Chains A and B, each alone.
Chain A
Amino acid sequence: MKKLCSIPLLAALVVLVAVPAQADVPEVMAKAITDYIVPGYALLETEAGALGARMDALCAGPSPANLETARDQFADLVRAWARIDMIRFGPVSAENRLERVLFWPDRRSLALKQVQAALIERDETVLSLETLEGKSVGLQGLGSLEYVLFGTGSDEMAAQNDGFRCRYGGTIARNVAGIADTLHAAWSDPQGIAHRLIAPRPDNPDYRSADEVLREFLGLFSHGFERMRVQELTPVLADGPGSARSKSALFWRSGLSMDMLVWEAQGMGELLAVSGLGALLGENQRWIGDSFWFELANFVATGARLDAPIDQVLTDPDGWDKVSYLSILTSSLEQIFGAQIAGSLGVDLGFSALDGD
């Protein structure tokens, strides 16, 4: 379990000042992109590159210390991804980039089977970046990297071996770094998606008005919290401590399940603060921002207290109750964006829109 970082909750509250609405949407988007999304992908690239280097060191010098260093770096990489994984539109939705970084949930354990097969069969094609990026998404990203570093047989990387598993891990890390580089470049392109979000025009293929931009941006938060609940919490909780399914949790092997949730929530808080979205709310709607920060602080504090592997957390009735409380909080946070903030800004996130039917 990594030590959880704090977020500037009080500082963020400061941005919730009374400034009326949509004329400032371009400024909000410019800040969100320049000060959060672009640096977020840059950090992802940096952390993935660093893990590649750690894996190289482990391959060259197998030792418990080098394995531990690589595992620690994996946590840093996961944290970098958690900060930015709420971005599900734009370049990450092209060419299966999202799934190549993290193919999850994997209901049928397809990726696990593929990774295990690659390791058992010593499939040399997973060792080359050029061939790996053309293979199944299940072999390419953080899920397979977690298995390499924490799955059955991973401890053997600390001792002398043929280095296959280690080299595969390094290739995955470089693959993620490459995808992050592509995403960073796409979001940095002055004529790319950033431009269309900051300056929507009727003849744009995607964002034609400030209303559409705001809908996309608010949806990022409401859908993000919804996704945390339906993907990461509900399937794991099941009906109670006796039936909880800890192995359905994201990153259970590395013990990062709870960290991931907290980092995701913190990321959304940070993005909200950096963007200055709260400033679009009027004076008499400031309570909505206050509600958000209150619920987010509850989420982070509760999650941070669950400092144990997810299976232990869930079999303890008190731990299960706390995880269940996190699920309730995600509903509340989703509603704050999907109904209250969106309603205050005149944006309809949709009884019927954006629900994929």
Chain B
Amino acid sequence: MWTRRAFLQAAGVGFAASLMPRQAAALANAELVVASACRMPDGTFGAALASERGAVIATLKLPARGHDVVRCPVTGRLAVFAWRPGTFAMVFDTRGNAVATLTSPAGRHFFGHGSFSPDGRLLYATENDFETADGKIAIYDATSGFARIGEFNSYGIDPHEMMLMGENLICVANGGIETHPDYGREKLNLATMRPNVAFIDRHTGDLLSLHELPQRFHQVSLRHLAPDATGRVWVGAQYEGPAADDVPLLMRLGPDEDFFIPDVAPTTLHALGNYVGSVASSADGELIMAASPVGNSALILDTASGETAIRHLKNVCGTEFDGRRPILSTGNGGLAFGDAPPERFETLFDHHLVVVPG
């Protein structure tokens, strides 16, 4: 149950109760489907498409743990990227059929995120050049078997989530944390890390602007992104310092606009445990949601009023909106739509989910 949910109800959560019976029945039959990387009941890893009513629609086996799933806006195909420091990505259709398997080149691994171009012709992926620790954005050609056709700098270390903004712009969150496969997922530079958010021309790879928080927040790793309706981006962060410190975890910026940190009470932010595992924005861009499996909580911020709502859900991390209706997934196999209790699955959902239109 979301706390302080008035604005959610007004926007859509719980609105089914106000519908006529026939409309309500139609709504009940309209299944919403989401896709997520997951751990299967037998302990293997995969990706799954799961419905609002608790059914697994399709699955795809993966060679190892996946992380984010992104959807091609033209073909509707999905791509799932290996969990750091994995070296594979798989493209698949909504019936769970593999279309292509991508392998990062020698000396590189994926960071678990990527994005299709608006015309569906290219698939971008964040990668680690792990000998130099330079972040890269690799380019794969969806029209030619997803061949790797180029790359450019991410302008930072540890590029995590990236997204396309309009036709020409890439936004990437460089988390700033150096890792190397020789040392697994260990963090090698916490004393000197310098995360940033970079805006890049996707046609030339040129850096258009780069944004850093003040030095005192250099251990605030900027990792997850969600666009809003105004051409700006919301960033979700994870803090590498003491859990009791109060630091920015949710902030907004634009290509030509520095960080705006909303005035959320520290006691509210504490629910996130200094760890934002994913962020999402509502279709109209007015609601921003951040989830934390560390804090076992999700937070929604109404950007217009500044009002917040919290939902406590064990191991919650995946976030999306269906219009203004929040969707949450959990590492325990929970999938919660709006205000309803989570549907329970035997598949355990990874950190991110994406809505798959019918």
Contact = CB atoms under 8 A, between A and B. Distances in A.
B188 A105 contact: yes
B195 interface: no
B185 interface: yes
Interface of A: 89-91, 93-94, 96, 98-100, 103, 105, 107, 137, 193, 196, 203-208, 212, 226-227, 230-231, 234-235, 348, 350-357
B232 to A, nearest CB: 24
B4 interface: no
A98 B246 CA distance: 20
B184 interface: yes
A234 B331 contact: no
Contact of A350 (B184, B266, B273, B331): B331
A352 B293 contact: yes
Contacts of A204: 244, 270
A100 B192 CA distance: 12
Contact of B112 (A227, A348, A352, A357): A357
B254 interface: no
Interface in B285-334: 293-294, 314-315, 317, 330-332
10 contacts: A94-B242, A98-B190, A103-B191, A205-B246, A206-B244, A352-B277, A353-B293, A353-B294, A353-B315, A357-B84
Across the A-B interface, the 3 shortest Cβ-Cβ residue pairs:
A352-B331, A230-B184, A206-B243
The binding surface of chain A is classed by DSSP as loop
Interface stretch (B17-25, B136-144, B145-153, B345-353): B345-353
B294 A357 contact: no
B194 to A, nearest CB: 14
Interface of B: 39, 67, 83-84, 112, 160, 177, 180, 182-188, 190-191, 223, 238, 240-246, 266-267, 270, 273, 277, 293-294, 314-315, 317, 330-332, 348-351
Given A348-B314, A357-B84, A94 B348 contact: no
B184 A353 contact: no
A196 B244 contact: yes
A348 B331 contact: yes
A351 B243 contact: no
Contacts, number: 104
A93 B350 contact: no
Contact of B191 (A96, A208, A352, A355): A96
Contacts of B243: 89-90, 205-207
B314 A107 contact: no
Contacts of A205: 243-246, 266, 270
Contacts of B246: 205
A206 B244 CA distance: 5
B245 A230 contact: no
Contact of A351 (B223, B244, B270, B348): B348
Contact of B185 (A98, A105, A352, A355): A355
A90 B241 CA distance: 8
Given A208-B270, A235-B183, A357-B84, A352 B188 contact: no
A350 to B, nearest CB: 6
Nearest to A207: B243
Given A204-B244, A207-B243, 8 more contacts: A103-B191, A107-B182, A205-B244, A205-B245, A205-B266, A350-B331, A352-B350, A353-B331
Nearest to A186: B242
Contacts of A212: 273
Contact of A352 (B184, B244, B317): B317
A89 B330 CA distance: 25
A93 B348 contact: no
A100 B270 CA distance: 28
Nearest to A226: B184
Nearest to B294: A353
Which residue, B183, B241, B267, has most C-beta atoms of chain A within 10 A? B183
A235 B179 CA distance: 13
